[in-house]
Amino acid sequence: MFVNLFKPKWRHSSAAVRASAVARLRKDHPGHIDILRQLLLDDNSSEVRRAALDRVDDPELLIQALVSEQDQQLRLHAACAIANYLEPLPEQEQRNWLERLPDTASLAALVLCDAGNQVQYVALSLIDDQTTLLTLALQGAIAQLRRSAAERITQPELLDTLCRESRGSDKTVHRIARDMLQAYKEQEREQQALEQKQRELIATLNALVNGLDHQHFQARFDVINREWEQLPSSSLLEPEFQTLAQRARAFIAQQQAEREQQEAKARAAAAHRDACVQLEQEIDGALTQDIEVSALQSLCDRVQSLEQQGPLTDGLNRRLKQAQHCRSALEQLQQHQDQLQSLLQQPLEQLDKGSINNLLHAIRWPEKLAKPDLLVQAEKLLKAIDKRRQEKREHSDRLASQLEGNLDALEQAISQGEIRVAVRCQDQATDQLQRLNGTTAPQLEKRYKSLIAQLQEMKDWQGFAINGKKEELCDRMEALIDADLPPQQLADQIRSLQQEWKSLDAGACVHSQKLWQRFRTAAEAAYSPCEAHFSTQRQLREQNLKQREEICHQLGQLLDSIDWDKADWPAIERICHTAKREWKQFSPVDRAPGKAVQSSFNQLIRNLDQRLRNWHQQCAEAKRQLILRAAELAEAEDLRAAAEEAKALQRHWKAIGPAFRSEERALWQEFRAHCDTIFARLKDDPTPPATQIMLEQSPAPMKEAELSRFNSCAEMLTKAEAAMLEGDAELIDRILDTVRGSVKSLPLPWRAAMLERADVVERTVESTEELEQQLADSEQRLRELCIRLEILLGQPTPDEDQAKRMEYQMRRLQQALAEQNQNPATGDVIQLDLEWKTLPYSGVFPELRQRFEQLKQRTTC
């Protein structure tokens, strides 16, 4: 005890005494500086070291303290002191000082301290350890430092961790981590695609080298080799490819040698074939020119000589037989030439066809060879004789047959009363009689005269009857002029009268031009009121057609511009509904062009509907997986862990798009039932009874009647939100109309809040993006209400919302302290409960409502 009396105060056994002594040490005294260094680096009391640290301004000593200090708070304090000391220095000098720090942890402490100056950014630039950068990106005090740390992380697993842990706490860091992770994954996919392409080329080359199909070998190898050279080099796969390429080149060289050998044999065979072709052409030339027996004999001798060198071609064999046949025919022609010329000099009527045929048969000139002029003349004379005889016989028979057929048709037309047809048949029969020129059979002439007499009698009677009917049609058409009828009905009646006139005119043989002019003038006058109506209808159809063509054009351009891998499916679904609705509005259109545009529109809509069906199917399948997991959690033993995971499943459910309307409601009800089971089990879980919280009596924010009406409107809006999630649009409109009429008697602030909630429901009906944004906003505001009630009642906040409670208290420090220190009152709790009911889609977050209700249940007056 007496020892302490003689020791300096800074060596006293009491840490408080040593800390007090440190405050009296001077920084400009050399001896005191040593004492401060000893206390700062060696004293076992953090209080003494903190006091010494506050007295030191030597950067060397501060760096030693930062490196050796184990207490995290003192390390941060030392780091702040170093940062404040280095702040006025140039950046290069700051970097020189910081490079003297021996470890990354010291640099990290500088970044994590609350100095808030440029030195922290220099320290961050010197840190390369990825794990440390992850810690700084998550825990850095300054947003810019967190972003800078996040941008320097390159390891995918750390980026994934950063992406998960920054979600909801730092949007910028989360976005940076997400973008860098996606870029890395994209690079990895590109590398895998490159390696896959290289392996495919190696497999293709291996199949080419070791396979049996060697057709176009070199061309196929060149294509493979060219594709390989266009790819980046790969040290791993390059040797394997080059080995196969060497084998391919060796095989190509072997193929080239075999091909040259075959070509030599082919050249020899081609030379013999060319000789055959040449001789064949000479025989063809000899047979097409003036043929001589001696020339044909010479060619036949050359063919026999060539046959000894090799087999003759089929063409040359045929030409040899033709030459031999032609030589024999020439010899016969020379023997019978004088006799044939004598026959051809006789007149055509006196020629003997049999004699000429006998001479031609004896000569037997080949059919495929050009015939001499003498033989050609003989054949022409034979054909002329046959043709002259045949023409005379056929002409008479044809005219008699036609006349008989026309008389049959004339008789049938008279019997059926078809005067127009009968007149036409009469004209044809008269012409045929004149062409027969007296060679007609007597019975046909007698029948012709009888039918002509019957036709004349029928013409007289028909003309009298038809003119009376036409006058009646003229009277009816004139009655339609200025008639008070709708345009379409008037046009139909005019068209009907025109059809009747046409039917009468078709059967009449005599036409009255005066009656026709009267009927046509009346028709034009009666139709004039219809022209304006049909012109307007035509313009409307043309305008509708243009609008439909524009819809097809815009829809086609939209579908071509969409990246289907990153498609905004809710927006695409709205576009599809809008296009169908507008298409129906622009009707009617002209049939022919409208059919083509309709076909194009149907094809575009079918394509779009199929893609939307695939998306809804994917969403439905993802939600079924969540339902299976929720069903498993409903049977789990660890209820609190199951409840936490159920909350995560609910967040995931909101992130997934909608399934088919026919399935969405059933899926949601099944999923909601499992989640309700989990939270009900958690609520029924036996736990120690919580202590009751006493509340002071205070007036409620509204009168009892107003409060009842307010709660009724809140319940109706909750039903509307549930209908929105289930796709029942008709029910939503009815509920919103009822709510807007009911809230008029509420106090102004609460009326405005309830109307705003109704407007949110109406907006989210039209936009899926609006719904997702509103759900996120509502969740944050509901959590804040739970925190405000916990502050008001002096109750702890769950661990996951501790940061939000601290943020709320810092943001509204004075009010939060006042709420925490004053006695809670019933009016305050009712006020928070009313605010809860003004927030849209609160029913989507049952776990937050349960947390809020449990706090209310613990209150008592």
Return the domain boundaries, the chain: 3-187, 441-536, 562-687, 691-860
Q: Is the pLDDT of residue 349 over 80?
A: no
Q: Is 726 or 839 the better-scoring residue by pLDDT?
A: 839
**pLDDT tens digits, one per residue of 636-645:** 888 778 888 8
Could you read off the pLDDT of 770-785 as tens digits, one per residue? 777 888 888 888 888 8
Please give the CATH number for the structural domain made up of 3-187. Answer: 1.25.10
Instruction: Give me the pLDDT at residue 506, please.
Output: 61
Neighbouring CB atoms inside 10 A of 839's CB total 20
φ, ψ of residue 100 in degrees (nearest 5): -80, -10
Give the pLDDT band (50/70/90) at residue 821.
very low
DSSP three-state, residue 401: helix
Between 533 and 36, residue with greater pLDDT: 533
C-alpha radius of gyration, the chain, whole number: 55
Could you tell me what percent of the chain has a pLDDT over 70?
A: 71
| Mean pLDDT lowest among 34-48, 541-555, 631-645, 653-667 | 34-48
Best mean pLDDT range from 391-395, 637-641, 756-760 = 756-760
Tokens 């509307």 map to which residue?
A: 720
Q: Which residues of 338-354 are buried (b: 16+ CB within 10 A; e: fewer)?
A: eebeeeeeeeeeebeee
Q: Is the pLDDT reported for residue 3 higher than 50?
A: no
The count of C-alpha atoms lying within 13 angstroms of the C-alpha of 271, restricted to the half-sphere facing its C-beta, is 6
Minimal CA–CA distance to 545: which of 488, 603, 592?
Answer: 592
The pLDDT score that the predictor gives to residue 768 is 62
CA torsion through residues 765, 766, 772, 778, sign: negative
- pLDDT, tens digit, 9 for 90 and up, residues 249-273: 888 888 888 888 887 777 777 777 7
What is the model's pLDDT at position 26? 61
In this prediction, residue 553 has a pLDDT band, given cuts at 50, 70 and 90, of confident
pTM: 0.31
Between residues 496 and 117, which one has the greater pLDDT? 496
Query: What is the band of 651 on the pLDDT scale with cuts at 50, 70, 90?
Result: confident
pLDDT of residue 817: 47
Q: Does residue 56 register a pLDDT over 50?
A: yes
- Residue 535 CA neighbour count, 13 Å, CB half: 6
| % pLDDT > 90, the chain | 0
Q: How many CB atoms lie within 10 A of CB 466?
A: 19
Instruction: Extract the tokens encoding 23.
Output: 């405050």
The alpha carbon dihedral of 86, 91, 93, 96 has a sign of positive
Question: Minimum mean pLDDT among 17-21, 155-159, 735-739: which range?
Answer: 17-21
Asked if residues 409 and 425 have their Cβ atoms less than 8 Å apart, the reply is yes
Encode 542-567: b = buried (16+ Cβ within 10 Å), e = exposed: eebbebbbebbeebeeeeeeeeeeee
**Per-residue pLDDT band at 791 (split at 50, 70, 90):** confident
The helix/strand/coil state of 4 is: helix
pLDDT the model gives residue 814: 47
Q: What is the mean pLDDT of the chain?
A: 75
Tokens of 42: 């060696």
Q: Is 859 helix (H, G, I), strand (E, B) or coil?
A: strand
Confidence of residue 688 (pLDDT cuts 50, 70, 90): very low
In the three-class reduction of DSSP (H, G, I as helix; E, B as strand; rest coil), residue 743 is classed as: helix
Sign of CA pseudo-dihedral 725, 728, 731, 736: positive
Q: Are 732 and 765 in contact (CB under 8 A)?
A: yes
pLDDT-derived band at 4, boundaries 50, 70, 90: very low
- 3-state secondary structure string across 199-255: HHHHHHHHHHHHCCCCCCHHHHHHHHHHHHHHCCCCCCCHHHHHHHHHHHHHHHHHH
| Residue that wins the pLDDT comparison between 347 and 261 | 261
Question: Residue 39: pLDDT band by 50, 70, 90 thresholds?
Answer: low
Q: What is the mean pLDDT of residues 158-182?
A: 80
Most confident of 119-128, 402-411, 776-785: 776-785
Q: Are 660 and 623 in contact (CB under 8 A)?
A: no
pLDDT at 744 over 60: yes
**What is the mean predicted confidence (pLDDT) over 809-837?**
70
Average pLDDT over residues 797-814: 76
| Amino acid occupying residue 332 | Q
